[in-house]
């Protein structure tokens, strides 16, 4: 126990630098995920038949394949074809794409749960379809989507750990490096687990606060 | 085309990898089911101490990334084979999610049902086994299907501790056929997609068969 | 007074069902027109054809002499000029009362926040809801929601307002407050078309009434006369459902 604490303090700087990379990676891919997810979700509800099928195929295919595979495809697969990306860029793209298709589904669900009268009322006032989406549908969808979306955000925060597999120096990678250097694998991963738990609990807390902040009476997903 | 010939000749390897992945999947889902159910029952029916303990375990398992738990289990001070380590680690993570599914389902069993059972003189265990669990099963198939397909994809994480599942087979094939990386991974993607679809179709059918009037169906 | 709206031979089909079979009427500025008829007769469809929420198959809708059922017309401007009040209010549920009423001036008319706010406050005042500007729709009664939705329509400064059964979703004790707002509007010279089952309101407030049955205007005229002495059998039959009219 004592020796774990000594060791933990010794490798803490490395681990914290890894945690910082994790946070940055998470912020980037979660942002990308929400923005793309929103666009894809809107496209699945409001676009023409043609675009609908392309978007649906894209979303469904990616939802049916593992994140690790998507990462390897982008890093090794595209690399093999001459498009060499830095590990952290490849990870940002792969994880961002991965989470965006899940967010897309949540946005689609949220948009479809908005009463049709909201759109009709906006159009009746003289708003164009896109303005109605921008000012009436999306603000409501954004609030409705928060519970499921924040689950996905937390999930993705943890899932950034797959980036270690292409050599991104995030938290899990730091645990591996330090574990190998000192032959103390278990303790390194234990410290990683503790740091992840603290970070994930914090993220969950932040999401709960946001959820409270944007609460509007009468605007919840019907269950 | 060269790549198609390679993929066809490597089909047996992919099949082997798929079997390993399914083995991990079955193991982790079973472990997650048993533990998840235990956590859910403890959180709902347990006394304060049991409840607190169950909730704490669930929250910690929920907050640890699967890969971290995978390495933790793999590097336990005693030897575990990679497949078993993967089943234990992924199963533990899954139990946190499955417990939430079961908890939600149990809580949505209407209290009138339990009242009625109590009024008939059924004991608590009997109420749980004859009333709550049968209704809960119907209510949880939908969300459980999501967990299934999510775990099917997450068997790929076992790759990192050396389990020779689909991703590892793909890696071998890429290594000794020199290149074709993108094409092989694309093929693997199609393979996972098909597996996911078959699995969810099966559960969808199951849900339909178990459906009785009065239970809302997934849309 | 000048004619503000003229409708000529409007028709509309849904699949194979002819819902409107040639609707024609004229409306002068400042007039209130009551539209009555049984359920499914095509009243809502007619209103939605007027502001092109569902485009008619044929016919003309002349708003101040301009046919708006013609190619090349900017429908959004047309719709902004015709306020619409729904049976089930359809207030934007993510916006407060004030933001709901400011929405039109701000997002449709492109006014500044300050101007929009000024207009909105005026209209909210007019419907007597100034003490509720920070409430969300879900926190209001049906009658209050409907009054706000009237304010929302008015804030666009429309040339006329279309009401589709504005009190049908309300409990009887809340109907009065909405009808009195509408009566006030009529007295202020607002042009309005009101689909309604409130015969008392139609009789006392409307300048004209039309009775629609199965997609055609069976009878039109001054409400008092028409309700007292319907000329057509179908009108008689319909009016006989409302006891104590005369
Ligand atoms: N979008 C639509 N698609 C198909 N049929 C429709 C549609 N809208 C209306 N109809 C049909 O058109 C007919 C007239 O409907 P409308 O809503 O105009 O009647 P209404 O006079 O407003 O009745 P109510 O008093 O019940 O509101 C009905 O038979 C209705 O079923
Ligand atoms: Mg109607």
Q: What integer pLDDT is reported at residue A59 of this predicted model? A: 96
Q: What integer pLDDT is reported at residue B219 of this predicted model? A: 41
Share of chain C above pLDDT 90, in %: 93
Q: How far is the CA of A42 from the centre of ligand 1 (A)?
A: 29
Residue C227 has pLDDT above 70, yes or no: yes
Residue B60 has pLDDT above 80, yes or no: yes
Residue C246 has pLDDT above 90, yes or no: no
Q: What integer pLDDT is reported at residue B134 of this predicted model? A: 86
CB pairs under 8 A between A and C: 72
Report the gap between the CA of C175 and the closest CA in chain A (Å).
21
* Closest Cα to atom 9 of ligand 1: C45
Report the gap between the CA of B136 and the closest CA in chain A (Å).
17
Q: What integer pLDDT is reported at residue B112 of this predicted model? A: 79
Average pLDDT, chain C: 94
pLDDT band of B215, cuts 50, 70, 90: low
Where is average pLDDT lowest: B107-121, C1-15, C90-104? Answer: B107-121
Asked if B72 and A65 come within 8 Å (Cβ–Cβ), the reply is no
- Quick check: B180 and B115 in contact, CB under 8 A? no
Domain A2-222: state its class. mainly alpha
3-state secondary structure string across chain C: CCEEEEEEEEEEEECCEEEEEEEEEEEECCCEEEEECCCCCCHHHHHHHHCCCCCCCEEEEEECCEECCCCCCCHHHHHHHEEEECCCCCCCCCCCHHHHHHHHHHHHCCCCHHHHHHHHHHHHHHCCCHHHCCCCHHHCCHHHHHHHHHHHHHCCCCCEEEEECCCCCCCHHHHHHHHHHHHHHHHCCCCEEEECCCHHHHHHHCCEEEEEECCEEEEEECHHHHHHCCCCHHHHHHHCCCCCCC
Both tokens assigned to C231 = 């000329």
Assess whether chains B and A touch, using the rule of 3 or more C-beta pairs within 8 angstroms: yes
Residue B218 has pLDDT above 90, yes or no: no
Instruction: Output the CATH code of domain B2-210.
Output: 1.10.3720.10
Residue C156 has pLDDT above 90, yes or no: yes
Q: How far is the CA of C41 from the centre of ligand 2 (A)?
A: 8
Q: Per CB distance under 8 Å, which residues of A are interface residues toward B?
A: 61, 63-70, 72-73, 76-81, 158-159, 161-162, 164-165, 172, 175-176, 179, 185-186, 189-190, 192-193, 196-197, 200-201, 204
Q: Which residue among A66, A196, A204 places its CB closest to the CB of B65? A: A196
Residue A223 has pLDDT above 50, yes or no: no
* Segment B107-157, tens digit of pLDDT: 888 777 888 888 887 888 888 888 888 888 888 999 999 999 999 999 999
Average pLDDT, chain A: 94
Mean pLDDT of B199-205: 92
Count other Cβ atoms within 10 Å, centred on residue B121: 7
Compute the CA torsion angle A18, A22, A27, A33 (nearest 10 deg): 150
pTM of the complete model: 0.88
Question: Per-domain residue ranges for chain A?
Answer: 2-222
Residue B214 has pLDDT above 70, yes or no: no
Share of chain A above pLDDT 70, in %: 98
Mean pLDDT of C195-213: 94
Can you tell me the ipTM of this complex? Answer: 0.92
Residue A222 has pLDDT above 70, yes or no: no
Residue A105 has pLDDT above 90, yes or no: yes
Long-range contacts of A212-217 (CB under 8 A, 24+ apart): A214/A142, A214/A143, A214/A146, A215/A143, A216/A143, A216/C93, A216/C94, A216/C136, A216/C138, A217/C136, A217/C138, A217/C139
* Segment A141-191, tens digit of pLDDT: 999 999 999 999 999 999 999 999 999 999 999 999 999 999 999 999 999
* Closest Cα to atom 25 of ligand 1: C39
Count other Cβ atoms within 10 Å, centred on residue A144: 24
Where is average pLDDT lowest: A97-106, A174-183, B176-185, C124-133? Answer: B176-185
* Segment C76-91, tens digit of pLDDT: 999 999 999 999 999 9
Q: How far is the CA of C154 from the centre of ligand 1 (A)?
A: 26
CB pairs under 8 A between A and B: 105
Asked if B167 and A73 come within 8 Å (Cβ–Cβ), the reply is no
Question: Per-domain residue ranges for chain B?
Answer: 2-210
Q: What integer pLDDT is reported at residue A215 of this predicted model? A: 85
Residues with CB under 5 A from ligand 2 (ion): C 44
């Amino acid at each position: 126990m004592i020796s774990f604490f000594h060791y933990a303090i010794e490798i803490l700087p490395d681990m914290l630098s890894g945690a910082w990379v994790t946070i940055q990676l998470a912020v980037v891919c979660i942002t990308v995920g929400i923005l793309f997810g929103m666009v894809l979700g809107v496209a699945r509800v409001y676009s023409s038949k043609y675009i609908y099928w392309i978007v649906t195929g894209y979303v469904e295919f990616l939802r049916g394949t593992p994140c690790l595979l998507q990462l390897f495809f982008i890093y090794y697969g595209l690399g093999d074809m001459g498009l060499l990306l830095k590990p952290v860029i490849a990870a940002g793209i792969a994880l961002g794409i991965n989470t965006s298709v899940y967010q897309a589904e949540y946005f689609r669900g949220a948009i479809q749960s908005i009463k049709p009268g909201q759109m009709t009322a906006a159009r009746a006032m003289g708003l164009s379809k896109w303005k109605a989406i921008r000012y009436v549908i999306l603000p409501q969808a954004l609030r409705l989507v928060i519970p499921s979306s924040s689950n996905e955000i937390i999930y993705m925060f943890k899932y950034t750990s797959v980036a270690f597999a292409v050599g991104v120096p995030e938290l899990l990678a730091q645990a591996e490096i330090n574990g190998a250097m000192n032959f103390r694998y278990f303790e390194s991963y234990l410290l990683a687990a503790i740091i992840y738990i603290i970070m994930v609990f914090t993220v969950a807390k932040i999401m709960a606060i946001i959820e409270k902040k944007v609460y509007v009476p009468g605007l919840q997903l019907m269950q | 085309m060269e790549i198609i010939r390679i993929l066809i000749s490597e089909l047996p390897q992919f099949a082997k990898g798929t079997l390993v992945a399914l083995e991990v999947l079955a193991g982790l889902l079973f472990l997650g089911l048993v533990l998840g159910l235990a956590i859910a029952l403890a959180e709902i029916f347990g006394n304060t101490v049991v409840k607190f303990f169950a909730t704490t375990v669930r929250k910690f398992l929920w907050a640890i990334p699967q890969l971290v738990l995978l390495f933790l289990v793999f590097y336990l001070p005693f030897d575990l084979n990679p497949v078993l380590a993967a089943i234990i680690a992924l199963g533990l993570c899954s139990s946190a999610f499955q417990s939430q599914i079961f908890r939600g389902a149990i809580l949505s069993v209407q209290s009138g049902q339990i009242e009625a059972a109590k009024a008939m003189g059924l004991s608590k265990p009997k109420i749980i086994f004859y009333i709550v669990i049968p209704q809960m099963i119907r209510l949880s198939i939908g969300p459980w299907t999501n967990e299934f397909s999510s775990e099917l994809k997450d068997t790929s994480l076992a790759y990192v501790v050396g389990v020779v599942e689909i991703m590892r087979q793909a890696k071998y094939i890429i290594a000794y056929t020199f290149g074709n990386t993108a094409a092989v991974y694309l093929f693997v993607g199609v393979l996972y997609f098909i597996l996911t679809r078959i699995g969810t179709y099966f559960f969808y059918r199951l849900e339909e068969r178990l459906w009785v009037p009065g239970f809302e169906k997934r849309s | 007074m000048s004619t503000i709206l003229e409708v000529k031979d409007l028709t509309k089909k849904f699949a194979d069902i002819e819902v409107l079979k040639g609707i024609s009427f004229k409306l002068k500025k400042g007039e209130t027109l009551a539209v009555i008829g049984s359920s499914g007769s095509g009243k809502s469809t007619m209103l939605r054809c007027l502001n092109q929420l569902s485009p008619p198959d044929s016919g003309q809708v002349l708003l101040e002499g301009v046919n708006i059922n013609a190619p090349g017309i900017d429908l959004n401007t047309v719709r902004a000029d015709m306020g619409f009040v729904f049976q089930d209010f359809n207030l934007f549920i993510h916006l407060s009362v004030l933001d709901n009423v400011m929405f039109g001036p701000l997002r449709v008319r492109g006014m500044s926040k300050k101007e929009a706010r000024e207009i909105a406050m005026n209209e909210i005042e007019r419907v007597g809801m100034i003490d509720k500007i920070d409430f969300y729709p879900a926190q209001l009664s049906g009658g209050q929601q409907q009054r706000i939705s009237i304010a929302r329509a008015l804030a666009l400064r429309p040339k006329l307002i279309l009401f589709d059964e504005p009190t049908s979703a309300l409990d009887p004790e809340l109907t009065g407050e909405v009808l009195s707002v509408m009566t006030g509007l009529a007295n202020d010279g607002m042009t309005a078309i009101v689909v309604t089952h409130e015969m008392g309101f139609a009789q006392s407030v409307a300048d004209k009434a039309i009775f629609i049955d199965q997609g055609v205007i069976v009878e039109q005229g001054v409400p008092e006369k028409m309700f007292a002495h319907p000329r057509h059998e179908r009108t008689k039959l319909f009016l006989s459902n409302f006891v104590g009219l005369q």
